[in-house]
Amino acid sequence: DVKVTQSSRYLVKRTGEKVFLECVQDMDHENMFWYRQDPGLGLRLIYFSYDVKMKEKGDIPEGYSVSREKKERFSLILESASTNQTSMYLCASSSPRGLNTGELFFGEGSRLTVL
Amino acid sequence: AQSVTQPDIHITVSEGASLELRCNYSYGATPYLFWYVQSPGQGLQLLLKYFSGDTLVQGIKGFEAEFKRSQSSFNLRKPSVHWSDAAEYFCAVGAGNQFYFGTGTSLTVIP
């Protein structure tokens, strides 16, 4: 069965802390994505990656960075967390044919609270 | 620019009643269209997708959607809603190398 696993379902961090959100997929997908979900705003793309060591900015990259050292793993990094980064973070992956024709497979989400 | 509009933020229906969730998109080329469902505290699950061909597509859990090019719409329907259908529903467009999502419609089902 297809699986995207996000390491932490719930995190509570303090302002200024460095935060790592990890995502692993077992489908050998080339493409991986990080979205942020907020009420009334839907899903907004933070970063995406088409291959190992490659990354592209999405719509709201400010305050975030990513790392893709292995094909199956895509990490989202908040260098210095702020309260306005309190949100639900969703990781997703897709196959190359799924760039715009296939589907995204989502993890269960990581709910981050920054105090 | 690509965009997806879900005009209904929240819908309440009685169990057994029919359902239609609206989705309008803006995209210059032939769109690739998706409906996803999100149960509370969970990630998103694909309900159905449209790439080409028959404009009426069937999905999981008894859902269907109809692509209407003239109206730039891809509305989701279900003839008889079950209490377990209560969730948030997202319409999405695949454009270029990205996916664009609507803001979602929250569905409440009354017993």
What does the pLDDT look like over B56-111, one tens digit per residue? 999 999 999 999 999 999 999 999 999 999 999 999 998 766 788 999 999 999 99
Residue B37 tokens read as 């469902």
Cβ atoms of residues B59 and B47 within 8 Å? yes
Q: With a cut of 60, say whether residue A65 has pLDDT above it.
A: yes
* B27 contacts chain A (CB < 8 A): no
Say which amino acid occupies A67: S
Chain B neighbours among A 24-63 (CB < 8 Å)? 33, 35, 40-43, 45, 48, 50, 58
CA angle in degrees (0–180, nearest 5) for A98-A100-A105 = 50
* B43 contacts chain A (CB < 8 A): yes
Torsion, Cα B58 B60 B62 B68, to 10 degrees, reads -30
Torsion-angle region of residue B72: left (phi > 0), alpha (psi -120 to 50) or beta?
left
Overall average pLDDT of the A73-85 stretch: 97
Confidence at residue B91, expressed as pLDDT on a 0 to 100 scale? 96
Judging contacts by C-beta atoms under 8 Å, the chain B residues touching residue A112 are none
Torsion-angle region of residue B41: left (phi > 0), alpha (psi -120 to 50) or beta?
left
Judging contacts by C-beta atoms under 8 Å, the chain A residues touching residue B34 are 103-104
Judging contacts by C-beta atoms under 8 Å, the chain A residues touching residue B97 are 50, 99-100
